[in-house]
Amino acid sequence: MDSRDPDIAAGIAARKAGRHAQAVERFAAAMRDGAAPAAAACAFDTLRELEVSAFLVGHLLHRLRRPTESHRGMLFAGDVSIEGVQSERLRHFAEAAAPADGGRRLGAWAKDRVGGARPGQAGIAAVPDPAPSAVAEAARGIAAWRLGDRRAASEAFTLSLLYPRLPAHGAAATLRATCRGHQLLHAGSAFYAVPVAVNPIVQPHQGEMQVMAHRAPPALRQWLLRLLPGWLVGLLRRAAYASPLLAKKSLEDMPHASDLATLLRRIGRAG
């Protein structure tokens, strides 16, 4: 996202203030003025927020038996459509991929994916998501259970309680349980167990995942985070990460396994 473009910057500010219609107009202006890929992405996200919001409010009012027009909070009569912005985005996706081998194929894939992200479409939940999440594992477990594959179901159900509700964006997903004093993590294609006692922070560093032992007790950290200004927290954090005094280890040095059951058995034996 190119926030140096004045229209995009103004659009982002308007969106933050909840003036989505105004934001879309600015993003549309940026699209016309040559900042098309970034502006189209911003316009799409903004329009999608508007569509989901309008859908939800309409759903509530319908259930209350009140006319949709009785809502006076989200008037949007702009001439920029989500379909138009989506076409623009797809064109850029396709252009970006064209020199390789799959511009058209990428376009078709992206259309399916983005096209599914519309409110009220029943097929959305069925779009498979390769990233692990509670939602995906619960669905996998239910499917296996209905097919009578109890063991596969039970494994998926366990993972559904462990994974974050939706796919995590960070380098490592912190699982939602501990085992024998170990915090469980999922990074790449493996599961790891890091002692809770070290109050671990996992950060990518020089091409590998590092585990850093946090020495300050959680209560002290919370207190400092509340009192100190954000810039100082950032500065202190960078200084702490660079400090040779902070115990750092590669994540690969921690107990790990490609499947959770093996890792849990390993921790169990060690415990």
Contact status: 183 vs other proteins (CB under 8 A): no
Q: Which of 13, 47, 54 is nearest to 28 (CA)?
A: 47
Rank residues 216 and 225 by Cβ distance to other proteins and give the closer one: 225
Ranges within 3-22 binding other proteins (CB under 8 A): 15-20
Binding residue (CB under 8 A) for other proteins from 96, 98, 108, 124? 124
Q: Which of 183, 127, 136 is nearest to 164 (CA)?
A: 136
Element (H, E) at 257: strand 256-257
Q: Which two tokens stand for residue 133?
A: 């999440």
109-146 CB burial, b ≥16 within 10 A, e <16 = ebbeebeeebeeeeeeeeeeeeebbbbbbbbbbeebee
Ranges within 76-115 binding other proteins (CB under 8 A): none
Rank residues 12 and 106 by Cβ distance to other proteins and give the closer one: 12
Mask 19-58, x = binds other proteins (CB under 8 A)?
A: xx---------------------------xxx-xxxxxx-
Alpha-helical segments (H) within the chain: 6-16, 20-32, 36-63, 82-97, 103-116, 134-146, 150-162, 218-227, 230-242, 260-270
Binding residue (CB under 8 A) for other proteins from 96, 131, 171, 228? 228
Binding residue (CB under 8 A) for other proteins from 74, 197, 220, 236? 74
CA distance 199 to 172: 15
Contact status: 165 vs other proteins (CB under 8 A): yes
Contacts with other proteins, residue ranges (CB under 8 A): 15-20, 48-50, 52-57, 59-61, 63-66, 70-74, 117, 119-121, 124-125, 134-135, 138, 141-142, 145, 150-151, 153-155, 157-158, 160-161, 165-166, 176-181, 222, 225-230, 232, 261, 264-265, 267-268, 271
